Amino acid sequence: MQALLINKDAAGYTAQLGQIKEAQLPQGDVLIKVDYSTLNYKDSLAITGASPVVRSFPMVPGIDLAGTVEKSDHADFKAGDKVVLNGFGVGEGHWGGLAQMARVKGDWLVPLPSAFTSKQAMAIGTAGYTAMLCVMALEQHGVTPDKGEVLVTGAAGGVGSVAISLLAKLGYTVVASSGRVEETDYLMSLGASKVMDRNELSEKGRPLAKERWAGAIDVAGSHTLANICASMKYGGTVAACGLAQGYDLPATVMPFILRGVILAGVDSVYRPKADRVAAWARLAKDLNPTQLDAMMTEITLSQALDTAQGQIDGRTRGRFVVNVNA
């Protein structure tokens, strides 16, 4: 079967399309025929070697997959079931979804909601599932549409695209922050009320700025996250889920102790199964499926190799769905 394989040896680091056998797949109690996978930022880091994402070699990358159960020794799944997997170290320490077959632990799987096809589920993928977790975090901390504007950074990326669509459908006024002004029409079509240049937030700012945001979803970290916190309204919440600008946080405690701002960290990799099921149920209910096509670009396994560097360089938009059988 076809698979992307990452290797590291004396000759160096390589990522290439190759052939694997079912017997080579790692241990697990569920065997899945993969329909579609995705190319996430983390997958591109793994493929290009830009960051030490991969923890063992050889490795099949792909932190997402959607497909059909072929064999199962897990009580919750049987042959023929449609399933989706996001995270749990798949594609980092356990062979992932950028292959035609995968063997994984059944505890990592979520039944595919009937509202979505496998392709649509991967148009959502970890990025969209993370965006839903972020929206749920804002809701849990009392950020409602009447409270004011909600900022989304990295707006043209996977998390940002889905977050804008979700928030707009739920009635929020969304401001999209992006480094690509040429994507303004795309972002407005998803539901953004306005688009701002990310440079307004990316440099060192004041420890406390004018109150503006009722809520925010941030994928950047570093100065961007610090500036967002400094300009939150009293009692506002920031859902932080990424570090595209950096893993540092050059901020002060002033927004937290003077305005009661909440910084809610959102992890999607090891999220408990109940939260995953709830997030996918909300996606089935609250995501506008007609907008998935606008967010999605379908590519093949071989094209994933070429696309990875563009994603690292910030030259791509939306979601990349990988047809592993094309």
Reported as a single tens digit per residue, the pLDDT across 120-158 is 999 999 999 999 999 999 999 999 999 999 999 999 999
d(CA 99, CA 103): 11
* Per-residue confidence (pLDDT) for residue 95, from 0 to 100: 98
Band of residue 200 on the pLDDT scale cut at 50, 70, 90: very high
Alpha helices in 80-192 (DSSP H): 118-140, 158-169, 184-190
Contacts of 19 (CB under 8 A, 6+ apart): 1, 2, 3
67 CB-side CA count, 13 A? 28
* Per-residue confidence (pLDDT) for residue 294, from 0 to 100: 87
d(CA 137, CA 117): 26
Q: Tell me the pLDDT tens digit for each residue of 170-180.
A: 999 999 999 98
In sequence order, the β-bridge partners of residue 320 are 39, 297
* Per-residue confidence (pLDDT) for residue 216, from 0 to 100: 99
Reduced to 3 states (helix: H, G, I; strand: E, B; else coil), residue 5 is strand
As assigned by CATH, the class of the 126-265 domain is: alpha beta
Q: Could you tell me the residue ranges of all domains in the chain?
A: 2-112+291-323, 126-265
Q: What percent of the chain is modeled with pLDDT above 90? A: 90
* Per-residue confidence (pLDDT) for residue 289, from 0 to 100: 86
d(CA 44, CA 62): 9
Sign of the alpha-carbon dihedral angle for 318, 92, 62, 70: negative
In this structure, the number of other CB atoms found within 10 A of the CB of residue 208 comes to 15
d(CA 179, CA 166): 21
* Per-residue confidence (pLDDT) for residue 181, from 0 to 100: 86
Q: What is the CATH number of domain 2-112+291-323?
A: 3.90.180.10
Q: Tell me the pLDDT tens digit for each residue of 9-67.
A: 888 899 999 999 999 999 999 999 999 999 998 999 999 999 889 999 999 999 999 99
Mean pLDDT of the chain: 96
In sequence order, the β-bridge partners of residue 216 are 151, 238
N-term to C-term CA, the chain: 12
In this structure, the number of other CB atoms found within 10 A of the CB of residue 149 comes to 16
Q: Do the Cβ atoms of 129 and 196 come closer than 8 Å? A: no
* Position 290 pLDDT exceeds 90: no
Q: What token pair was written down for 119?
A: 């392709």
d(CA 288, CA 168): 10
d(CA 208, CA 228): 10
Reduced to 3 states (helix: H, G, I; strand: E, B; else coil), residue 182 is helix
Tell me the longest C-alpha to C-alpha distance in the chain. Answer: 60
* Position 196 pLDDT exceeds 90: yes
Q: What token pair was written down for 121?
A: 């589920």
Q: What token pair was written down for 191?
A: 């539901």
- Closest by CA position to 65, among listed 101, 116, 92, 28: 101
* Position 227 pLDDT exceeds 90: yes
Q: What percent of the chain is modeled with pLDDT above 70? A: 100
Q: Tell me the pLDDT tens digit for each residue of 240-282.
A: 999 989 999 999 999 999 999 999 999 999 999 999 999 999 9
Confirm whether 2-112+291-323 and 126-265 share one CATH topology: no
